[in-house]
Structure 1
Amino acid sequence: MQLKFIYIFDALCTWCYGYSPVIKAVQSKYKDKFEFEVLSGGMITGTRTGPVSVVYPNFKEDYKQVEELTGIDFGEAFLHELDKGSMIFDSERPAIALNVFKTVSPSKVFDFIYDLQQSIFYEGKDPNGDDLYRYHAVNFGIDPDEFIYKTHLEQFKQDAYYEFALARQLQVSNYPAAFIQSADNHFFMVARGFATLETMELRIDNVLKEIGS
């Protein structure tokens, strides 16, 4: 099988937001080495969903650490929503949207998740409503009505929950995470939590050397 790079993230994960420039650079550099796949981890689902003030009670302190370590910025619009505390955090809708996007524009998946997290964490957009996904559909040249219609189909909800299950099978509980898959049941973990681009390149190159030998 072709070597596969599996990136497991969650649209509502702040560390994934900070990691997004790194993973885009990795995908760009190694696009000829790997087949790339993005999976949603389902970080906030079921009884864990709720207002950001409840789901992330320490968010106001924690986001500053993300900014300091990753260099990413959280926008004033999002911080305003954070102060209000009422934005609902639920990983289901963005995960469904990702699965729909994969069927219509698979080559631009990394651009989509990057833009999606920018909309949430910088522009303060609601991750649950149709407006956000309609906007991104138009941005990527996709029929917005068709895109929104598909996000409400049971098929894509099931696909999202299948991805959540795959993440659990890979024993991922912290995001972001990344693996190189060299065979059906052979995985090399190359990221568990945030890592710099230099660290990622070192880990990936070491795995490629091991596989090659």
Structure 2
Amino acid sequence: MKLVYVFDAYCGWSYGFAPAMSEIARRHPALPVEVVSGGLFTGARRVPIREFGYVQDSNAKISELTGVRFGAAYQRLIADGSFVMDSGAAARGMAALRTAAADRAVHLAAALQEAFYVDGLSLSDPATYRKIAESAGLDADGVVAALRSPAAQAAAEADFRRSHEIGVDGYPTLLAVDGDRGAVLARGHATADQVDRLLARIG
């Protein structure tokens, strides 16, 4: 059995779930985790953030339920309203980070979201991935080179297909997959304890 964690780096609910996901991975080191990027803001949904008028109310609810904080630099982005979230660029970045350290994908996904939601950094900017790589002790030049490679684009597209094929239509979604069988452990919000109880039932 393995876990399949489908998230979008620009999804506030995925950011809220990141601490629980990190705790789940810590509690179950023998369970492989496949981290898959979703495509929340692609195509026609790549518009200035001001067009998503619900963002601040949603963030308040996320903070209340999960305890995560949204940093001052991110708040300034929201207030300005011109920033465009591009899930394709974020998925390429996640692919580059996975290439550098596949066994740390859960941690790196969380770091990617902190870069945006705390530090207000663009996930389309190679400098963001250089910073994440350096903080994680990875080869920063290698990560930036991977980000710019055709392989990263192919991996991002494969992630979007994978998310669709397993029927994920909302982020985050955590699945337990064993062969052809899959069970939903979390969708939108869950605590590590709640996920553990479901894992115990199916394990």
For 1:24, the equivalent position in structure 2 comes to 22
TM norm structure 1: 0.91
For 1:112, the equivalent position in structure 2 comes to 108
Q: Does 1:72 align with 2:61?
A: no
| Contact 1:6–1:180 (Cα < 8 Å) also in 2 | yes
Q: 2:134 aligns with which of 138, 153, 173?
A: 138
Q: Distance in 1 between matches of 2:79 and 2:7?
A: 25
TM norm structure 2: 0.95
CA offset at residue 144 of structure 1?
Answer: 2.3
CA offset at residue 196 of structure 1?
Answer: 1.5
| Contact 2:96–2:144 (Cα < 8 Å) also in 1 | no
Q: 2:37 aligns with which of 40, 43, 46?
A: 40
| Contact 2:33–2:106 (Cα < 8 Å) also in 1 | no
SS of the equivalent of 2:4 reads strand
Uncovered stretches (5+) of structure 2, i.e. residues with no partner: none
Q: 2:156 aligns with which of 157, 160, 163?
A: 160
SS of the equivalent of 2:151 reads helix
| Contact 1:9–1:177 (Cα < 8 Å) also in 2 | yes
Q: Distance in 2 between matches of 1:14 and 1:160?
A: 20
CA offset at residue 145 of structure 1?
Answer: 2.6
Uncovered stretches (5+) of structure 1, i.e. residues with no partner: 209-213
Q: Distance in 2 between matches of 1:190 and 1:28?
A: 16
The runs of at least 4 consecutive aligned structure 1 residues that moved more than 6 Å come to: none
Q: CA RMSD in A?
A: 1.2
Larger Rg: 1
CA offset at residue 91 of structure 1?
Answer: 0.5
Q: 1:57 aligns with which of 53, 57, 68?
A: 53
| Contact 2:49–2:83 (Cα < 8 Å) also in 1 | yes
| Contact 2:4–2:34 (Cα < 8 Å) also in 1 | yes
For 2:96, the equivalent position in structure 1 comes to 100
SS of the equivalent of 2:183 reads strand
Q: 1:8 aligns with which of 6, 13, 25?
A: 6
Q: Distance in 2 between matches of 1:142 and 1:9?
A: 22
What whole-Å deviation, never above 9, does each CA across 1:45-96 have from its counterpart, x for those lacking one? Answer: 1111121112x22112111011111111111111111000111101111211
How many percent of aligned residue pairs carry the same amino acid? 25
For 1:87, the equivalent position in structure 2 comes to 83
Q: Distance in 2 between matches of 1:91 and 1:24?
A: 21
| Contact 1:45–1:92 (Cα < 8 Å) also in 2 | yes
Aligned residues: 203
